[in-house]
A and B are shown apart, each in its own frame.
Chain A
């Protein structure tokens, strides 16, 4: 009871400190007045009476302090005092505070941004989707590497797997969405009918897919559209359900609209529409696949049952794959399933971005480390200049603990400000990755960053650790102060108190080393970018490429052939030297068709079914592309519908199937049809600069049922001029049609390379930050050293040292640090750059050029940072400095 009452009094006292303080003053003054009066009455004179009264009373300040401690809650009050005092200190040294907060903001901002990317892109990539923690990607593999999964295999997984809740099938596709007079590309996806239910997404209008819509060959032309497409393309039409939309030439009924924010399950793209699995052939072509176990087109996901680990699940699907191998040897021999955690999904942007994000994370942490070292250093330097203040406070009786608490509070204020700044940076840079991605019309780039509680907790934790770290450094310094010697003004040599100098120098050394490491990393990436620019993809990268979506316009084969011929002849007169249509353009997002082949005289390993990728191309394609022929001839105008089927193969294919002998005139069987080899082309890169030479062949477009919507043009005119001419030509032939974007193949190659470019850009940003921070650190240390060594410098000047000598003394001091830092950086870089692995292209992780370049950059930055303090040293006025 009493304890409660006391607490009540104390808490109440917190709220009216001013009144209470005045009351206390009044009361004590009254007491003294009474005592003085009494003394006077006893016969003392006024002065003696006063001093006797004061003596009798005891130390007023101490009494007041005890009184206050009893009256309120000292812990809260001192904390409040510390905070106010802290703010005063922060405000009194605005330069220092600004630098410290800036450094920490950069560090925390960098890590928080990268973490929010990782969170949003890799860990929980799909907004609105439930149970992403149990979601895994499923893919297949055979002897040649990763494959997709076939529909019948997926059905067997559904039937037999016990550790899974659901499996969903998906395949990304695109079409041209023509609404009114506006035609734009749209990305969509072919999905199994359980797709939306499994993801836990309910349509806001209409319905999702029905299981019956998984059955039949192009039998259910229905589509579900995204909220964004509904708003943007259909103007939010409230009566949209039941209307029809032509997709890839077939009228589809719109049956549902998905909620806002749901954009599908593909890291990198947002989707605008979905169609059921039965419509797969309409989007991809190549025949009906739902009853074909060998047709692997599905990029799937699965949801594990709660508590099931991915290893257990993998064991189960592997066992099922074994059964399927035994039951269906013709299609499934050597085939297996492979599960991936979402962040390793191999068939979407996650796989592409993983190395970039991984390296960004490491680099951001390094930047944070540099920032922490820097702020620690700044605080340390300041703690020396505050030594006098600290000693005075100690000598008037402040407790060491109290001092420490106060320094911690100051640190807390700085780091709170920095955390807020860091979060702001993270918020602003949510869409940074998107900016590195080249824009293409109609494709919604979707890299959502998530700033959620986990990221928040992380950055808060980081800032807390830094606070304690750098708050305590000066506190420890302060608590070691020897009162007597420190209260006499201290002065030191050029590097201050030698005993503590090594801490500061060490911190700078670490910063220089880490900056060096980042610079080497950036150098390596730049060099591999360069190597990749210079690398020969095997075709002429100046060739222009575009597409015309005849399929969406509902063209049949004869109409398409007629259209293509007309375009070619019109373009011939418009500055295009040569042009050819093809099914797939190299380095585009479309995948090449593949076929099982047989070759006379080539005996496959038992159970092996050789599969080779190919392209279907128009007359003169190899010539247009600048792919040299080794033997025989190009695909020609004579290879039409009525002529004997032919193929041009590449060198790798010759090596593999004909043991390197000239195969012109020999036969190769593709999908049961025998083709005569008429030429051998040099190897080229087909979809990635990183791929190794692989067998590949070309067949005439005219001898297939594929429309072939990609146009390649060799020209000396500029891309814009050709694009303009092409648009006019296409419009002139069919006023409803418009060509897609006209790009050089160089652009195509660079686009496929964008994740590496993003990595370089990010690293460049981080490197600049690191360099700036290290520069600040070096500058701070050198300025401090000079300011502390003024007296020594003055003495040297007085004894006749020239400015040059002084400059030399100070600069050599700083540069010695830098050289040690570079040495440390070289050691670290030799150990670490190997981890960059797949981001490097034809560059050794120990490339000497990168190391030398990094050393030079650091050296220049260091000289700059050291010069100003050194120059200031030469301006020391010896008379004034010595008198002080």
Chain B
């Protein structure tokens, strides 16, 4: 009676990659709900379109690479990338924007680099940035938050939303408008208080802009859930949010006309929370050690703030994360933990211990 020869350890947790990916997808639900309540059906349509495209692309490439399709699709990584891209894109964006972005994410940014685990850049953010640079107009039209719509006007219903998405026509003027970060960027010459008073998106909001603050709170809740579930550690998100807070405090300037905005606005506007908990925590493209993730997160926080305050784009999470992806292997070389029995941390590049 021969028994199987299997290497130790024999015991194993029930955790697997597919479950991790699924959990992250579930954790986006509070953010998705906030997006849907405030901006209509658009985000959900984006997500569905992106997921279908992503799975089709992934399956095709895996087939071309002569790998088992069901095994690799079953890891849910393509679905997660699609969900994140769908959440990041403006609701009611034309269908081809979503499809092109997804194809770029999955085929170029992920599979051409070797598939799951080998992509140096976050695929969803690559797709997003390609779209932002190539199609700036559909990428910058955002639906007006529900609370700011005129009396009697509502967001388009599901069927109407679908027809807007697939007809390629942009939604009617009344239901689109600038985001808080847009407004802030283009309100030069006004002190912060005036900007807040003049724009209902600020004056009717609690602390950072109608609708957007809820979306950010939604992603914050989902993200804290993932930390509690030990899917990732607190280091990256806390470093990013800490760095942004610090930067916006340093340059707050008392709310003068030169002020780039308050810490609360920066933390709860745009893609801040989604970036902090769902994008920079992508382990494949981030730094690996906890110390490395502190550096990596802080770098992203600083970059986001710098581009928002003095760059050409109102938001910058995608750019900042891609730039930090470049830096991740370098950060890894200098942020090794101290091993048991060693007096100092070592560098990954050294040949002999000092």
Same complex origin of A and B: no
